[in-house]
Amino acid sequence: MPMRHSFVIICLLFLAGHVVFGQTTKARNWCLIGVAKVDVTPKGPVVLAGYGGRTTEHEGIDTKLWARAMVMGNKSPVAVVVLDNCGVPAGVTRRLAQRLVKHGITPRHLVVAATHTHNAPSLVGYAKVVWAGRMSPAQEKRMAEYTTFAIDRMESAVLRALKNRQLMQLEWAQGRVGFGGNRRVLNNGKWAGFGFQRNGPVDHSLPVLAARDADGKVRALWANYACHCTTVGSRNRVGGDWAGFANSSMETDFPGAVSLMSIGCGADIGPVGSGLQIAEKHGRTIATEVKRLLATKTTPLTGPPAVSGKHIQLPLIKPQPRVHWEAQLRGSGWHHQLAKAMLAKLDATGSIPAQVNYPVSVWKFGDDLAMVFLAGEVVVDYSVRLNRELDWTRLWISAWANDMPGYIPSRRVLAEGGYEADFSQVYYEQPGRYDPKVEDAVVNAVKELVGRTFEMQPGQKTAPFHTLPSGEADTFNRVAEWAAAKKPEEEMMVLQKVRQLIPNAMPAIGRMLPGDAEQTEWFNFAGDHVRRVFIRQKAKGTTLRWQSPKLLENAKGSITLCFTGGVGWESAPKTGGFTLLIGGSEALQFDVTRKANRWVSKDTKTELVYLPTWTSPEDSGGFFFLTLTNVHPDANGAISIAVRSLGRDSMRWFAIDAKQEIRTKLNKLSAAITKNR
């Protein structure tokens, strides 16, 4: 060996054992790590997975698709490859694993994950029933050719990552982004369709793994977020959706790095907002948080990870007998195709399996981080529960890994019913829904593999990622911007009035009184989904009543009461509006609005000022200021207040928030409207 090469190796070993980025460290913190990405964009026409209504080949390309790989270790390397695809079936994973054995990567040490973009070609074995009887022979041939092409490219990505290995140091951190929302809309506790269920569980955690070279430069990135990759929607064009944009944005922020974006337990979580530009925005949001995290304190990791895994059997309810499937065969569509598949199993083996073979894998970086890999479309409850029963500060959970058996519902989702619990099973050639014991089966397998080291710590705080954060801070920032900006004269008058009223305003609501009001959850003054008491103008005379808190003994002169609430459904048929009653007597009339407004009674003794702080195209929520002159409290020192509908046959509404906390909110509002004054 030439002397100069020996000198370089000695220096590298010295660096690995003693000095890292100017800090003393141990040799165990260094690991051979390689990353690579290979283009897997289809070169010819092919049917895209993700939306059953698309049966023709793609019509164009929005963004390229990639296979991205990371390899860690030397003698027994571990590898992860993330494919821009809707899902990778077990058959594809096996074919890739068989190729990599001769390169020293065993099937046990391989994770194959998907970004779940709904704008990538369908792979052989994915959601079989969706395409059964609906593809032409030519389409099936092109799907098979693309599947082989994708396997070739994934193999190439892993081999390049193997070749690219160099000594690096691993670190990780956990952040948060918030564009995912629970998509299971409920009505009386049962699934009612897709939408945005604001009070449904989410997982907004963003764990990030990074590898730096000897110069401290980030060379490898891996982030994970629990959300369907469906921001772009069903346009029949190839693209990586928000995950693809996240990768490209991260690589822009860290030149020379290769990034991987995997998906957490987001089977019932959808992106809020849609369209190609919104997908790019979501990806940018991920990259911005990653950049912030890596600029702060991170946790160094020992690598490569220790790997463990097992296959478990997930229980289904008892499959229907042959007579059921023969009856279904007489129908058409997806249920007809499922019946054909079930009858074929009965003919071949005499029975239909009542369980699903399910792989679970765990990578442990010492005691600092446990990465969990679950197959299929796993609902968010698994993340919520595992973060509760394990130490969420050292936990990373990925789904859509190693197989694609379909949706993995929880007990909650099974009780609510609907798409993820029922109909989606048809697509994945499952004979029926899961038994509720499925949740314990998955959770117990994970807990066994991660071990007692990662159990919940005494006094552990609840993970902060599973409910939507309040929009209050952003709302008051917007109010401050509105207050400082030029505005129409009528809005300026309302702003000046609110500034005058805030210092002496008191809470308006002491207790609710019997009336016609209903309760629901809707957007409050900050756009948060909260409990609200409301009336609609479906019938004239519908009334919402409440009583003020006890007032000061001397109620002469003017007093101002404040409450938060809202009005809405502006496009519904316009009526005479609402009347405000004080002590049972009509005082003034007001109506639905989305702008700052002010109403005064004919005798000028009653004034209602409304400052919207949250609006939609139909509704608004905000602060109501009610000023009363020479009011006469009842024997208890309180005032009876009511709002009554003056119209009928309209869905227009008036609401008050069930939880007020007015004094705290007024302090924040005061600070917002006097800022930069």
578-620 pLDDT, tens digit per residue, is 999 999 999 999 999 999 999 999 999 999 999 999 998 899 9
Is residue 669 over pLDDT 60? yes
- Pick 472-674's CATH classification: 2.40.160, 1.10.8, 2.60.120, 1.10.10: 2.60.120
Over residues 247-260, the mean pLDDT reads: 98
Q: Where in the chain is the domain with CATH 2.60.120?
A: 472-674
Question: What's the Cα-to-Cα distance from 345 to each of 95, 325, 430, rounded to whole Å?
Answer: 24, 11, 12
Using the CB atoms, write b or e for 472-487: b if 16+ within 10 Å.
beebbebbbebbeeee
Amino acid in the structure at residue 672: A
Least confident segment among 5-9, 50-54, 175-179, 335-339: 5-9
pLDDT score of 503:
95
What's the whole-number average pLDDT of the chain? Answer: 92
User: For the residues of 184-200, what is the DSSP string, one character each?
Assistant: EEEETTEEEEES--TTS
Token pair in block for residue 76: 């027994």
Do 197 and 185 form a contact (C-beta atoms < 8 A)? Answer: yes
- Helices 472-484 and 662-674, packing angle to 10 deg: 40
Average pLDDT of the segment spanning 515-524: 88
Predicted confidence (pLDDT) at residue 668 exceeds the cutoff of 80: yes
Residue 10 has pLDDT above 60, yes or no: no
Q: Is the pLDDT of residue 530 over 90?
A: no
| pLDDT at residue 520, as a whole number | 84
Half-sphere exposure of 424 (CA within 13 A, CB side): 23
The yes-or-no verdict on residue 174 having pLDDT over 80 is yes
Q: Please list the alpha-helical segments (H only) found in 81-173.
A: 90-100, 128-131, 137-163
Beta-carbon contacts of residue 615 (< 8 Å; ≥ 6 apart): 594, 621
Report the pLDDT value the prediction gives residue 199, as an integer from 0 to 100: 83
Integer Cα distance of 99 and 263 in angstroms: 25
Q: Is the pLDDT of residue 380 over 70?
A: yes
pLDDT at 366 > cutoff 80 = yes
Q: How far apart are CA 334 and CA 323, in angstroms?
A: 18
pLDDT of residue 250: 98
The pLDDT value recorded for residue 248 is: 98
Is the confidence at residue 166, as pLDDT, over 60?
yes
Residue 184 backbone dihedrals phi, psi, to 5 degrees:
-90, 95
**The pLDDT value given to residue 187:** 85
Going by pLDDT thresholds of 50, 70 and 90, the confidence category of residue 552 is low
pLDDT band at residue 553, thresholds of 50, 70 and 90?
Answer: low
| pLDDT greater than 90 at residue 4 | no
User: What is the CA angle 317-319-320, rounded to 5?
Assistant: 130
Q: What pLDDT is recorded for position 16?
A: 39
pTM passes above 0.75: yes
Average pLDDT (18-45) is 72
pLDDT of 7 over the 80 cut? no
User: What does the pLDDT read at residue 346?
Assistant: 97
User: pLDDT of 611-629, one tens digit each?
Assistant: 999 998 899 999 999 999 9
The pLDDT score that the predictor gives to residue 442 is 98
Pick the range with the lowest mean pLDDT from 28-32, 64-68, 312-316, 561-565: 28-32
pLDDT at position 555 is 53
What whole-number distance in Å separates Cα of residue 437 and Cα of residue 440?
6
pLDDT for 81 equals 98
Number of neighbouring beta carbons within 10 Å of residue 493: 14
Does position 27 have pLDDT exceeding 80, yes or no? no
Residue 18 region, left (φ>0) first, then alpha (ψ -120 to 50), else beta? Answer: alpha
- pLDDT for 634 equals 83
**For the chain, percent of residues with pLDDT exceeding 70:** 95
By the 8 A CB rule, do 173 and 299 touch? Answer: yes
**Is the pLDDT at 31 greater than 70, yes or no?**
yes
Q: Assess whether pLDDT exceeds 50 at residue 28.
A: no
To the nearest 10°, the Cα dihedral for 341, 345, 350, 356?
-110
